[in-house]
Structure 1
């Protein structure tokens, strides 16, 4: 049995040690440079203040022109400094309408994309690099409704590439030179994105799951072998507790005993991030967001944009985006500015935070038949509700405070977090998703709020265990290469016979 385990560890290690080393190396890079994304702060800096002057055609007219009569998301934003409606069906269907003329934007060409990007970059010079269906920095499925993307290279301090939607004309992603350079040895390498966008694209998920599973087998077998081979009592003839005479083999053995458990939990957590075999999905009814809102948006009842913009200007507000919503059945507008977001009514007057009673009443429609067991006001972050830095994988998620968390008694044990300022559902989780939070997020990045706040101690910990894992894998690479080289030399010396 032990012999088979030794052989398993040896040959799986020869096959995977280099990949494992690259995973640890790229993970260290991702601590500080993430995959490119357009953050909320970047978006707000790139958009001008919306004005009521010459704006806008009515929502019913714009919605009809869009060709998306069932659109569930309505926004008023700017493209190249001009107001533009953007409608979305909640999936990948997008349509844009000129907010002044009421004409649908059928397509966006190179000149329009260049104008949009330059205005977004506040006049920085740029050049059109052409259209791309998908490249190394645009693998996100959230961009599918905007493809092909028109890529513009800016001559600014960050040497950014801006990606412009060919459907709406909006800038939907930016990638700085730093993100692109470090991304090749960071997120692109870590997530095996070299397999995306090509003939293996359809197999990418299965390949990553398979390699992660094999890496887990490698780490577990190595940990068992390492413990079996270590003399906890007494010593080997060489005077050491490790039987290996060579420095590289001994380094591999000792490092494996020190970092083997972390290596195992780290690669396992990477496996769980892929939700293999859908283990974190639950059956049963899902929360009904439309019921929580109070029904679909109705164009005739929606606040008029001109009225809202005039009142906001009178109040000294500087809106960048208006988004129409229903909150507890009422038609309101979510106003996004450079400093925050808030709700206004049909006259453009700022609404106070929703009282707990209104939030609880609306939330009672999310899961018919389920009761709310507990209400908890979150004044600070805890182990299930917390924010991450914007460059991280989940950094774009908004986690406002204070927030109201409700716990339901349904079979899936749902928790729902609501923002009283906007009425938004900020977070929905069930029991399996909260288990995933520990098996993936915690084991992969030790992301408890208390630990994240203890920097640079958190950085030192993450880098130390990553270096230990990298050392373990690199010593395995050297040992594997030596083993293969001996096999090749023996094979040649025996004239091709074993």
Structure 2
């Protein structure tokens, strides 16, 4: 009896049982891979094809940069109500999470995001906007697009306003415009703000891109947890099936003592294509599915320890806003398209947004405001009580954690930026705009890990690839083609298997 057999015998297991167990394990490995492939190979093929579409066509959005870029300059002649009066009229116990002034359909409006939902107050009359009718919504849309209105339909949700973020803004008027792009605008029936837009081109390509890729069908996506569980289980089982297939591929490949045919693979035809492409692109496929699964935060995912109060501590917000010198604001605000109101370190601040760089003003005097480095550091220390500040960096160029892929869905990451590092349990970094003092974001060690396990694996946004975007696109195409070959060959093999049953 060999030494290994003796060791097995000492554990009370027959030396003949281990090979039998291994044979049974391999059999079930093959069965599991076969049936997950039969069931999910079509999903994999769709994911690879739709991912290539998403490389060029993003899901429709109407983020702040686009909102400012398309807005009309503020008509200061109509602004007769200051931010203090507008906010006080709402009777809010806390300062809003968002407060801004901009033009909506030719009228200056204050928009607030409050605990009671989104609200709007006219800067001309001081009256709260309680509802926006069909005719008013059409005029708001025409002022933005400069085209006639084709139709105005009431909607609570549809394919392009289906997430929880839009639920707080619903219901909407969906307005089809007679422009060349066949634009649809979504105007809130409560506040009159435009919250979403889409063009015919975006709608068409998203049915081939983001919608199937994210399993983003309206009937399912309306329900957050069932949708999340669908993506989790589909991608999770698919990941395990892919791992099983890669293991089988390794067991079956022969690099030195080849098969009688002279091939490294025992298979022929479509099976051989599946085996060889699986060995070439299998690791990428597993990494891609794993990162997609991770994006759904299984078991809580990679999350930083709770430091949710950092932003409020940094702001030092009070429930009200001071009386602003409107005459001084008008002088300073020429050409501004939007004014955002906030608190920074217990100080009221107004930020003017328009064509150029944003400018900060004192919330009380409307005079230009410059926050020096020492003031910013002091506010950051306040935001992180009990943690020591260990480093302050100024970034003038993108790095591994502060960068943009060029995708308009990405959050704006302006440069230069200050990075302040703290020694709290999460090893938190705060990113602060040195020009405005605004806290742009915070990230801990778990978030930095997520950057590599999700973003890098799923989008290939490695720093060296972001420097040469065409190379990144070529690599995505090559790896996606390998993944598609694996998926299509699995579909053919699976279909033939089903036909033999």
SS at structure 1 position matched to 2:358: strand
Aligned to 1:496: none
> How far apart are the structure 2 equivalents of 1:373 and 1:334?
30
Aligned to 1:456: 470
- 1:367 alignment partner, one of 358, 367, 384: 384
> How far apart are the structure 1 equivalents of 2:124 and 2:80?
5
- 2:283 alignment partner, one of 261, 266, 287: 261
Q: Cα distance 1:27–1:305, how it changes in 2: closer, same or farther (>3 A)? A: farther
Aligned to 2:458: 444
Within-5 A mapping of 1:343-382: 343-345=360-362, 346-352=364-370, 354-382=371-399
**1:231 to partner: Cα distance:** 1.0
Q: Cα distance 1:198–1:217, how it changes in 2: closer, same or farther (>3 A)? A: closer
2:155 corresponds to 1:93: no
Is the contact between residue 343 and residue 422 of structure 1 (CA under 8 Å) also seen in structure 2? yes
Aligned to 2:273: 251
Q: Identify the range of structure 1 (355-364 vs 272-281) with the bigger mean alpha-carbon deviation.
A: 272-281
2:452 corresponds to 1:425: no
**1:293 to partner: Cα distance:** 1.5
SS at structure 2 position matched to 1:193: coil
SS at structure 1 position matched to 2:111: strand
Q: Identify the range of structure 1 (273-282 vs 461-470) with the bigger mean alpha-carbon deviation.
A: 273-282
Aligned to 1:333: 350
Within-5 A mapping of 1:407-418: 407-418=421-432
**1:241 to partner: Cα distance:** 1.4
Q: Identify the range of structure 1 (258-267 vs 98-107) with the bigger mean alpha-carbon deviation.
A: 98-107
> How far apart are the structure 1 equivalents of 2:224 and 2:382?
40
2:500 corresponds to 1:483: no
Aligned to 1:491: none
- 2:52 alignment partner, one of 6, 28, 39: 28
Is the contact between residue 63 and residue 69 of structure 1 (CA under 8 Å) also seen in structure 2? no
**1:479 to partner: Cα distance:** 0.6
Q: Identify the range of structure 1 (110-119 vs 153-162) with the bigger mean alpha-carbon deviation.
A: 153-162
> How far apart are the structure 2 equivalents of 1:237 and 1:280?
49
**1:193 to partner: Cα distance:** 1.0
Is the contact between residue 84 and residue 97 of structure 1 (CA under 8 Å) also seen in structure 2? yes
2:74 corresponds to 1:50: yes
- 1:215 alignment partner, one of 233, 238, 242: 238
Is the contact between residue 385 and residue 399 of structure 1 (CA under 8 Å) also seen in structure 2? yes
2:404 corresponds to 1:404: no
Structure 2: unaligned runs, 5 residues or longer: 1-24
> How far apart are the structure 1 equivalents of 2:241 and 2:474?
26
Q: Cα distance 1:175–1:94, how it changes in 2: closer, same or farther (>3 A)? A: same
Q: Cα distance 1:415–1:92, how it changes in 2: closer, same or farther (>3 A)? A: farther
> How far apart are the structure 1 equivalents of 2:106 and 2:65?
18
Aligned to 1:289: 311
Structure 1: unaligned runs, 5 residues or longer: 488-498
Q: Identify the range of structure 1 (56-65 vs 251-260) with the bigger mean alpha-carbon deviation.
A: 56-65
Within-5 A mapping of 1:70-85: 70-72=94-96, 73-85=98-110
**TM-score normalised by structure 1 residue count:** 0.91
> How far apart are the structure 1 equivalents of 2:116 and 2:428?
27
| Superposed CA offset, 1:199-229 (max 9, x none) | 8654111111111111110110111011111
* CA RMSD across the alignment: 1.8
Within-5 A mapping of 1:96-111: 96-111=120-135
**1:383 to partner: Cα distance:** 0.6
SS at structure 2 position matched to 1:257: helix
> How far apart are the structure 2 equivalents of 1:157 and 1:201?
35
**1:79 to partner: Cα distance:** 1.0
Within-5 A mapping of 1:152-231: 152-194=175-217, 196-197=219-220, 202-231=225-254
SS at structure 2 position matched to 1:365: helix
Is the contact between residue 325 and residue 366 of structure 2 (CA under 8 Å) also seen in structure 1? no
